[in-house]
Structure 1
Amino acid sequence: MILKRLQFLTSLQWRLVTIFILLALVLAVSASVSLNYFVELFFYDTFKAGIENGFEYWGIDDEDQPTKEEIVSFLTANNKANAMSLFFINNFRTFTIIDKNTNEIIYTDVKSPYRETLREDIIQSRNYLAALAGGKGDKGKLIRIGDKSFFDYARRIGNTDYILYFRYDREEWAGAIEAFNDIIKLSFLIAVILSLIFGYALSKTITVPIVNLMHKAREMAAGHFGQVMEVKSDDEIGKLTKAFNFMSRELRKTLNQISREKSKIETILNYMTDGVIAFNINGEVIHINPVAKAILGIEKCDFDFNEFSKRYNLDVSIEEVKYLEIYNAKEVSTNIGEKYVKIYFALFTDEENNADGVIAVLHDITEQQKLENMRKEFVANVSHELRTPLTSIKSYAETLLDGALEDRELAGKFLSVINSEADRMTRLVKDLLQLSRLDNNQMKWDMQKISFEDLVRNCVEKVKFESEEKNQTLECFTIGEELEIVADKDRMEQVVLNILTNAIKYTPEGGKITVYIGRMYSEVYVKVVDSGIGIPREDLGRIFERFYRTDKARSREMGGTGLGLAIAKEIVEAHKGSISVASEPGKGTEVTVKLPAACN
C-alpha cells in the first residue's frame, strides 16, 4: 500500500504540482529570511543611531576626562532620566558602566538572573574588546546567551578609563518578526492551495493523454494488441498517439506470427518423449521441457552448462562447444540416479552462422537397458541351469562307457543320477515354456467358478505327507464364507502348491506352517505363514525375478529351478489378483495371494 502511494506521488502529474509547491516554498522561505534579516538590521541601526546621537547630545568628545563620580552622577542616581532620554534606555535597552583597567562593573541596570554572569559575558563580547582596543564596538551581530538574544554596543567615555556598554534585547522586536512570519506562513499556505488547484488542472492537460497511452501500453503488454487511441490534437502528444496506433497494428501482426511459431515449437517440445535443454552461448539455460526435468529429477533448473556437465559427468564444456567444431554433434551416455540416459549435444547458430548455443537432447534408455540386462541375465541363467545337469549327464555317461557299465550296482547309481538330472532339465524346460506362453498370451485358460477354500485345502492335503516327514505342524483355518472365485483350477493349484512347498522346504524340522483362507470386501485371500529361515530384506524386492534365488546352492540342491514364484506371479496377475511377501530373517515368511471374489 505504501509503495503504491509512493508510486502515485512520483507520477508526472504530481511532479508538476510539486514543482509549483516548491516554488511557493522557496519564495516563502526567501521572504521570511530576508524579512527577518532586514527587520533585525533596522532595529540595530536604530539602536546604534540612538546611542551615537546620545553621546553627541551629552557633549563629551574624545578629549574630555570626566571623573568616575561625574559619570555615575550624570547617568544614575537622581539623573537616570538623562540616560533614558539620551540613549532611549527602557526595559529592553540596558547599559553598564565598566572600568576598563579592572573590568569592574561600576553600575548596571541589567536585571537578574542575567546580572550574575554579566561580567563574564561582557568580557567575551567582541564589541567590548573592540572598545578596549580604543575603537568602537558597533558590530551588529545578534548574540545568544542561554534563552536571551540581544544586540550589544560598547564605547569609551571620552578620554577616561570607563566604557559604556549597551544591550538591546530581541524581545522588543520579536513580536513584530513573529507577526511578519505568521503572515508569510499564511501566504505560503494560500500559495500551496492555489498551486495544488492550478498545478493539478494544468498538469491534467499534459498527463491525461500520457496516462491513457500508458494504460493502453499495459494492455498491450498483457496480450491485448488491438488497442487504438483517439487522436485529439496535432501537437506532440497527438503525434505520439498516432505513432502508438501504428506500433500497435504492426506489433499485433508480428506477435501473432511469432505466437503461432512459438506455439508449434512449444507443443512439439512439451509432448516429445525425449528431454530437451537449450543453453545460450554463455551456458545459461533458456529452455527446458517437462520431460527433461522428469529425467533429471528436478523441479527448478538452477545450473548452467558447465555445472550441468560436471553434475552428470558428461566431460563437455561450453568453451569446447563454442570454439571446437568437432562438438557440433556429440553423444554421451551416463547414469542419473537409477536411470540410464543417452544425451545428444548439437550446436545451433545465428544468422551469421556463429555459435549461438547448444541443444541437449536427453533420451531415457532405462527400460531398454533393463530389458537388455534382463535378457543377458536370463540367457546366462538358462545356460547355467542347463549346463549343470548336462555336465552331470555327460560325465556319468562317459564313466559308464569307460567300463563302469559292467558294475551293475555302480551303473544303477549312475543311471539314477542321469535320470534325476534329465528330470531336472525337463522341469526347467517345462517352466520356461510355461513362462513363454504366459509372456506371449498363448496360455489357454479354463476359467470357471470354483470354491477357493476347497482348492486350498486340497493343496494342503497334497503336501501334508511332506511336512510330516520333517515333523512340521501344518494347520489350515478358514475365516468367513462364500469363498468362491472364477479361475483356472489347475493353474491356481500350481500357485498354491508352489507357495506351500516353498514354505515346507525353507522351514526347518519341527517348524510350523499356518494357512489362512478368508475374504475381505470384494477379494478372497490365502495367507501362508511359516516359521522358516526367512528372506533377507535386500532380496525381498527381487524374489519374483526369474532364476533369482536368495540361497542359490541350497535352492538348487532342493530341486528348485528359480522360476516357481515368477510363474506364480504371472498366473495370479492373469487372474487380476496380487501376490505379496513379508519376511524377516530367522523369523519366518508370510506370503499372501489376493483374488477377486466371484459375483453371486
Structure 2
Amino acid sequence: MRLIRRLRFFRSLQWRLVTIFILIAFVLMSTAAVSLNLFVESFYYNTFKQGLEGGFERGFLNPGEDATEEDAERIVRHYSSNKANAMLDFYLNDHKTFTILDGRTNEVKFSDERSFSQDWDSLSLEIQKSKNYLKALAGEIGDSESLFIVGNKEYFDYARPIENTPLIFYFRYDREEWAGLMDEFNKIIQLSFLIAIILSLLFGYVLSKTITVPIVNLMHRARKIASGDFGRVLEVKSKDEIGKLTKAFNYMASELKKNLNEVSREKNKIETILNYMTDGIIAFNLKGEVIHINPVLKVMLGIKEEWDMNFNEFSKRYDLGVSIEEISYLETYKTKEVNTTIGDKYVKVYFAIFTDENKKPDGVIAVFHDVTEQQKLDEMRREFVANVSHELRTPLTSIKSYSETLLEGALEDKETATKFLSVINSEADRMTRLVKDLLQLSRLDNNQMKWNITKFSLEKLVRDCIQKLEISANEKDQTIECYKIGDVEDVEADRDRIEQVLINILSNAMKYTPKGGKISIYVGKMYSSVYVKVKDSGIGIPKEDLPRIFERFYRTDKARSREMGGTGLGLAIAKEIIEAHNGEISVTSDIGKGTEFTIKLPVKCGL
C-alpha cells in the first residue's frame, strides 16, 4: 500500500517536472560529453592527417612524381635508410607508425621500428582489414576518420598509394596518445553531470512548486466546490498564466455558486409547488421509471413504501389505456386526458411530455386531478333537478286531474266539488312550501339571506316551540319533556331562523315517533357554546342513510315522507342555517330505538 502511494506520488505533476529537468540536464551533459569526445578525437585525427598531407606536399614524404614501378625497390631501400628514418621521426612518435606495403601481394616491405607488430605477416593481415587501406588499393587516398580496432587497441589510420608504383604508404595513430586526456575530460564531465543533476533536482523542485502548489490548491478547491463549499476564494499571487487561471477559477466558482443557488431556489420552489399541490403528480423517464411522485398522489394511491412499478404496469393497474411508447414517439401526441376511478374517487388524469434541451421527449408527467366532489355535485345537481321536477310534477298532476274533473261536470255535485277543491288547495299549499323552501335554500347558497340578529334565551325559544307543537303532540298522545342543564347564557342569533330549525327538528321527531312515544329535549352549555339535543323514541334511521340525511330531497322512506307532507328540504335548510351561525348540527340513531339531533351554537354567532 505504501509502495502504491509512493508510485502515485512520483506520478504527480511536480515530480514529472523534476524528472523533466533531470532528463534535460542528462541529455545536455550527455550531448556535451559525446560532442567533446568526438571533437577531441577529430582534432587529433585532423592534426595527424594534416601533418602527413603537409609532408607529402612539401616532398618530405613523397618519393618523387617521376617514380616508376621499377623504382619500388629503391623507394623501400630509401625509407629503410637511417636518413629516411631521421626524417620520419619528425612526423612519427611512439604512438604513430609508418608501413610500406606492396598493393599487389599485400606484403609488408617496410615498417618502422615503432611498429605495434614486428611480425610482418600478422601486421599485413591486420592492415588488410582497414577500410582506408582498401581505399588505397583502389587508387584513392584512405583518409576516413573512423577508429580501426585491432584486439583491444583503437587506432586512426591513413593510407596513400604511390603513383606509378604498386606501393602503398600506411600510417597508424594509436588512441592511447589522447586517451588519458579524454579520461580526464570524462571525469570532469561526470562530476559536472552529478552537479547538474543535483541542481536540476533542487531548481526543478523549487520551480515545480511555483506551478504545482497553485494547481494543487485549485484541485482542493474544486473538490470543496464539488461538495458544495463555495466559501473560500483563492488568492491570486501572480499575473502569469497560473494567476490568470486562479482568477478565472474564482470567477467560475462565483458564477457556479450563483447558478447553483438559482437552480436550488427553482428546484425548491418546484418541489414545494409539487408537494403542496392538491393534485397528484408523477413523472417517468423514457425507460418508464418513476423519477418523482408527490405526497398527494402517494396518499391518493395508498403508497407507503418505495415504488418500483414502471409506466406500462402503472397504466395497466389503474386502467389508463396509454403506453410510454405512445406518448414518447408519436410526434402528434401533445397531451391526453383519461377518466378513471381509484378506490371511491373519481379522477381525471392528464398526460404531458417534457423535453430535453434539444426539444426531444425526455419523459412523461401525469397529473391526477380528484374530481370526486365535482362528480358528486354534478350527481347531486342532477338528482336535485330530478327531485324538484318530481316534487312539482306530483301536485301539478293532482291539480290538473281534479281541475279537469271539475270542468267536466263535477261542479254540479257540491260535495265532490268541495272535496276536489280541498285537494287542489292542499296541493297548491304543498307547491308553495316547496317553492318557499327552494327560494330559502337559494338565498342561503348565494349569501343573500337577510339575518336579524338579536339576543334571546335559547331555553325560552325551545319552550315556545314545544308550546306551538303541543296540540299535534296531544293528538298522537306523545310526551314532550324539556330539561335545562346548568346555567344557559342568552345567544346572539337570528331568532326566527333558529326557531325554524327547532320546529323542523321537533316536527320530524313527532312525525317518526309512534303514538304514545316520548320526545326529550335538553338545553345546556358547553364551553363557549350552547346546545339543544332532541331525542325521540321513534323508528330510527338506518346507519347507511345517516351520512346523507342532510342532503337535499334525501328521504330514508320517501313514500312515507310525502304522505306526511315533507318536501325533503327541511334538514338541508336547518344545516345551512346552523352553519351560517358558525354552529354544528349532528345526528345519531338506532333502528327501532330512536334518533338524537344535536344543535350547537356559539354564544355570539359572528354573522
Quote the Cα distance in structure 2 between the aligned partners of 1:276 and 1:231. Answer: 49
Q: Which residue is equivalent to 2:180?
A: none
CA contact (8 A) 2:529 2:601 kept: yes
Q: 1:412 to 1:521 in 2, by over 3 A?
A: same
Superposed CA RMSD in Å reads 3.5
Q: 1:246 to 1:520 in 2, by over 3 A?
A: same
Amino acid at match of 2:329: Y
Q: Which residue is equivalent to 2:367?
A: 361
Quote the Cα distance in structure 1 between the aligned partners of 2:588 and 2:445. Answer: 26
Matched, 1:528 2:534: yes
- Give unmatched runs, 5+ long, in structure 2: 9-208
Following superposition, the deviation at residue 378 of structure 1 comes to 1.4
Quote the Cα distance in structure 1 between the aligned partners of 2:439 and 2:3. Answer: 89
Equivalent in 420, 427, 432 of residue 433 of structure 2: 427
CA contact (8 A) 1:484 1:598 kept: no
Q: Which residue is equivalent to 2:262?
A: 260
Deviations 1:397-452 (A, max 9, x none): 11222222222222222111111111100000001111111112221211111111
Amino acid at match of 2:337: E
Following superposition, the deviation at residue 509 of structure 1 comes to 1.4
Q: Which residue is equivalent to 1:224?
A: 229
Please give the residue correspondences for 1:330-369 in structure 2 after superposition, counting only pairs within 5 Å: 330-369=336-375
Amino acid at match of 1:564: G
Please give the residue correspondences for 1:291-440 in structure 2 after superposition, counting only pairs within 5 Å: 291-293=296-298, 295-296=300-301, 298=303, 302=307, 303-440=309-446
Q: 1:252 to 1:280 in 2, by over 3 A?
A: farther
Deviations 1:87-139 (A, max 9, x none): xxxxxxxxxxxxxxxxxxxxxxxxxxxxxxxxxxxxxxxxxxxxxxxxxxxxx
Amino acid at match of 1:267: K
Q: Which residue is equivalent to 1:282?
A: 287
What percent of counterpart residues are identical? Answer: 66
Q: Which residue is equivalent to 1:485?
A: 491
The SS at the match of 1:335 is strand
Q: 1:415 to 1:13 in 2, by over 3 A?
A: farther
Matched, 1:475 2:481: yes
The SS at the match of 2:333 is helix
Question: Normalising by the residue count of structure 2, what TM-score does the alignment of the two structures yield?
Answer: 0.59
How many residues matched?
Answer: 398
Quote the Cα distance in structure 2 between the aligned partners of 1:533 and 1:321. Answer: 58
Q: 1:255 to 1:335 in 2, by over 3 A?
A: farther
CA contact (8 A) 2:283 2:364 kept: yes
CA contact (8 A) 1:227 1:248 kept: no
CA contact (8 A) 2:347 2:372 kept: yes
Following superposition, the deviation at residue 312 of structure 1 comes to 1.9
The SS at the match of 2:513 is coil
The SS at the match of 1:325 is coil
Quote the Cα distance in structure 1 between the aligned partners of 2:513 and 2:252. Answer: 84
Matched, 1:451 2:453: no
The SS at the match of 1:387 is helix
CA contact (8 A) 2:336 2:350 kept: yes
- Find the structure with the greater CA-based Rg: 2
- Give unmatched runs, 5+ long, in structure 1: 1-11, 20-204
Quote the Cα distance in structure 1 between the aligned partners of 2:436 and 2:2. Answer: 93
Following superposition, the deviation at residue 365 of structure 1 comes to 2.9
Moved more, 270-279 or 519-528: 270-279
Following superposition, the deviation at residue 244 of structure 1 comes to 9.2
CA contact (8 A) 2:214 2:246 kept: no
CA contact (8 A) 1:227 1:245 kept: no
Quote the Cα distance in structure 1 between the aligned partners of 2:246 and 2:228. Answer: 15
CA contact (8 A) 2:283 2:365 kept: yes
Amino acid at match of 2:336: K
Question: Normalising by the residue count of structure 1, what TM-score does the alignment of the two structures yield?
Answer: 0.60
CA contact (8 A) 1:449 1:598 kept: no
Quote the Cα distance in structure 1 between the aligned partners of 2:379 and 2:237. Answer: 77
Equivalent in 494, 502, 508 of residue 502 of structure 1: 508
Quote the Cα distance in structure 2 between the aligned partners of 1:262 and 1:299. Answer: 27
The SS at the match of 1:327 is coil
Moved more, 254-263 or 585-594: 254-263
Quote the Cα distance in structure 1 between the aligned partners of 2:2 and 2:270. Answer: 49
Following superposition, the deviation at residue 222 of structure 1 comes to 3.8
Q: 1:586 to 1:488 in 2, by over 3 A?
A: same
Equivalent in 540, 549, 556 of residue 555 of structure 2: 549
Q: 1:211 to 1:475 in 2, by over 3 A?
A: farther
Amino acid at match of 2:255: K
